[in-house]
Structure 1
Amino acid sequence: MPLPASDAITFRLASADDALCLGVLSTQVFLDTYATQGIRPALANEVLQLHSVAAYEALLADPGVTILVAECDGHLIGFSQVRDGAGDPQVPAAAASELRRLYVQERFTGRGVGRDLLRQAEKAAAARGAEMLWLTAWEGNARALLFYPRCGYEHLGVTVYTIEGEDYPNRLFGKRVRHVAAAAAE
């Protein structure tokens, strides 16, 4: 069912003016996803270090990072963050970029926002020379573990994300994106 005009979702490249809203949205989605049993010091520190406004100001100033945002009626509802030239030993591509975050506010999940942000992130990575876009997804995030394979991502292996000495098992996924840029140019 199409969204009413007032609920139309638009996509654009993030600007420095988006740091405040990115920090708050990132914090909200991170906590909704990972703090399923409440807040502990390790998670609180992770939020303050990686999801702060200052962290997004630095990311937006980094030429090796691409952040795309989704908006609805002038409100930020989701974003993707890609790091250029980020390889991993389990990623079978010489030129790879990492999808560090794909966050969509809960109210807007299931409307294609994540899928559209992912497609645009793939095109952006390919346009900047990546052969493959890869990511890690926490094993406790059932929605992500189903979503990425539906979008053509292959399971490449397992890894661990550590927060203050606590290990969180993750799955590593990847997708060849070089063809995405070629198809978009046609």
Structure 2
Amino acid sequence: MTITVQLRPATQEDALCLSVLATQVFLDTYATTGIRPAIAKEVLHAFSVSAFASLLDQHGTFIYVAERDGHLLGFSQFTLGTRQESVTATHPVELDRLYVQEPFTRMGLGSQLLHASETSAVQRGAEVMWLTPWVHNARALKFYSIKGYADVGSTSFLMDGEAHENRVLCKQLS
């Protein structure tokens, strides 16, 4: 089943809804055993309204939203020029986040947002897109594999001083 949405660049007016959507998806994905201080601190810091407002003003960072009837259902965020030691490219781009609200997963939104991000990144001169999904996020790892992303290494995501293994995935963009 594919859902029809409007894909568009996010604006400052979206910061509030992006904050709440990101919080919800992050907690659904990473807080499967409940909330503890490290997760709570990460959410309050990384997904605040002011954090999204700053990202929307950050040069080289782009956020696309999937919207239907005035409701945000998902978003993608990428940053040009971000480097990762496992990725060799002159003009890399990092897919920082691709979040889809759970009731709308498996409806093509992730594919649409990923395609929009890849296309936009190519138009801005990027040659390789990379990302670092959590090693225990089997659904994301499968999704990116199907989309042509290769596993090129491992990295750690630090959350309140705790290291969590992530995979480094990348794809040559055309």
Give the TM-score of the pair, scaled to structure 1: 0.91
**In structure 2, which of residues 58, 61, 74 is the aligned counterpart of residue 62 of structure 1?**
58
SS in 1 for 2:132: strand
Equivalent position amino acid for 2:31 in 1: A
Instruction: Tell me what 1:44 maps to.
Output: 40
**Could you tell me which residue of structure 1 aligns to residue 5 of structure 2?**
9
Q: How does 1:1-186 map to 2 (within 5 A)?
A: 1=1, 3=3, 8-177=4-173, 179=174
Q: Does structure 1 conserve the Cα–Cα contact (< 8 Å) formed by 2:151 and 2:167?
A: yes
**Structure with bigger RCO (C-alpha 8 Å, 6+ apart):** 2
Give deviations 1:36-78, integer Å, cap 9, x for gaps: 1101111100001100100000000112100000012210000
Please report how far the alpha carbon of residue 2 of structure 1 lies from its aligned counterpart in structure 2 after TM superposition: 5.5
Report SS of the residue matched to 1:137. coil
Overall identity of the aligned pairs, in %: 52
Aligned-pair CA distance for 1:162: 1.1
Moved over 4 A (4+): none
Deviation at 1:89, TM superposition (A): 1.1
Q: Using the alignment, how far apart are the partners of 1:96 and 1:144 within structure 2?
A: 21
Say which SS state the counterpart of residue 145 (structure 1) adopts: helix
Question: 1:183 corresponds to which residue?
Answer: none
The answer as to whether partners of 2:2 and 2:107 remain within 8 angstroms in 1 is no
Alignment check: 8 A CA contact 2:2 2:108 kept: no
Residue ranges of structure 2 left out of the alignment (5+ in a row): none
Aligned length: 174
Matches of 1:127 and 1:14, distance apart in 2: 18
One-letter amino acid matched to 1:133: M
Superposed CA RMSD? 1.0
Find the aligned partners of 1:78 and 1:2 in 2 and give their Cα distance.
14
Normalised TM-score (structure 2): 0.97
Structure 1 residue runs of 5 or longer lacking an equivalent are 180-186
